[in-house]
């Protein structure tokens, strides 16, 4: 994991633009992303007819809360994603976590939150798993909330349109044929899949979209972009939307250790986390109704 670079460690235009990103999203640029800043912003400079990064920074200072600001933030956000990313995690979800929720959830309601969903591949991967196992979930109410701070990422996710390169990264041919349709040179998720997911643009530090409690929360490769204080804030938010049997999944390079008192390692699912304050209830008893 690259070390974060505080805005004070950058100079001139780079410092202004990285400061904008942190102020709007809480993300602190890593060394690798700071080095690639100008490359990431080149399409924005072309679109707004700006000469260089210094000109861009000057315009941002001049036009606060403008479409240019939004374009800069979207360009600097890391929207890396792929279908069934970290396949062992999706195998655990399919073989262990979802059957556990199915057995415990007495009101036949399944609620999932993909926090920091980027362009939607994670949420669509979950939807595909559930649709491929439709018999198990017959008669259940299934809710998938997927949120991200990037307006551009959410627009793409909601449209469900992915390039040939996107679908070749992790998506099985059978699932591609079954759940996607040609869309020009690209592929579009079927209306059935798109209806399953509620994509919302939202900020984890001013969250409006999540409500009630979720059985499964995925917040993978999100915390690593925040400083310690903001990581604590996000984990408190996730805990507030968890119940005694909820499962939290983070990215492979992320942990709750030393990040507050809300979560601890899950007693049943390796790499998963349970809400610490309710852990004694995880061994039995009916699930509470979420919502």
Residue whose structure tokens are 């993300």: 27
What is this structure's pTM?
A: 0.80
Q: What is the CB-side half-sphere exposure of residue 75 using CA atoms within 13 A? A: 24
CA 93 – CA 84 distance, rounded (Å): 11
Per-residue model confidence as pLDDT tens digits over 37-81: 788 888 888 888 888 888 888 888 887 777 888 888 878 877 778
Residues 249, 219: Cα–Cα separation, whole Å:
6
The CA-atom distances, in angstroms, between 284 and each of 77, 105, 192, 281, 287 are 41, 12, 35, 6, 9
What's the full length of the chain, in residues? Answer: 291
Domain count, the chain: 2
Domain end among 53, 76, 99 = 76
> Are 63 and 91 within one domain?
no
Residue where one domain finishes, among candidates 76, 95, 130: 76
| Domain with 39 in it | 7-76
57 C-beta neighbours (distance < 10 Å), count:
21
**What are 2's two structure tokens?**
């690259």
Phi, psi of 176 (to 5 degrees): -60, -50
In this structure, are 192 and 269 located in the same domain?
Answer: yes
Please state the φ and ψ torsions of residue 195, each to the nearest 5 degrees.
Answer: -70, -25
pLDDT, one tens digit per residue, over 181-219 is 999 999 999 999 999 999 999 999 999 999 999 999 999
List, for residues 141-172, the tens digit of each pLDDT value: 999 999 999 999 999 999 999 999 999 999 99
CA–CA separation, 202 vs 209, rounded Å? 6
Which tokens is 204 given? Answer: 């984890």
């Amino acid at each position: 994991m690259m070390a974060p670079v505080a805005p004070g460690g950058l100079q001139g235009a780079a410092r202004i633009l990285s400061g904008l990103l942190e102020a709007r999203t809480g993300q602190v640029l890593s060394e690798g992303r700071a080095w690639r800043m100008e490359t990431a912003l080149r399409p924005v400079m072309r679109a707004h007819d700006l000469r260089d990064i210094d000109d861009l920074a000057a315009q941002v200072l001049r036009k606060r809360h403008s479409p240019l600001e939004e374009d800069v933030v979207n360009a600097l956000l890391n929207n890396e994603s792929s279908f069934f990313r970290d396949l062992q995690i999706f195998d655990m979800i399919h073989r262990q976590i979802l059957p556990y929720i199915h057995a415990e959830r007495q009101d036949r309601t399944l609620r999932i939150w993909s926090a920091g969903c980027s362009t939607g591949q994670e949420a669509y991967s979950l939807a595909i798993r559930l649709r491929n196992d439709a018999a198990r979930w017959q008669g259940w109410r299934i809710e998938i909330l997927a949120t991200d701070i990037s307006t551009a990422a959410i627009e793409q996710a909601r449209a469900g349109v992915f390039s040939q390169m996107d679908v070749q990264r992790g998506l099985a041919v059978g699932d591609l044929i079954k759940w996607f349709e040609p869309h020009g040179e690209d592929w579009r998720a079927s209306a059935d899949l798109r209806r399953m997911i509620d994509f919302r643009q939202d900020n984890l530090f001013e969250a409006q979209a999540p409500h009630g409690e979720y059985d499964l929360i995925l917040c993978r490769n999100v915390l690593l972009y925040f400083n310690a204080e903001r990581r604590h804030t996000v984990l408190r938010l996730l805990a507030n939307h968890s119940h005694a049997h909820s499962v939290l999944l983070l990215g492979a390079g992320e942990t709750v250790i030393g990040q507050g008192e809300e979560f601890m390692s899950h007693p049943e699912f390796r790499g998963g986390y349970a809400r610490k304050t309710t852990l004694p209830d995880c061994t039995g008893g009916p699930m509470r109704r979420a919502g």
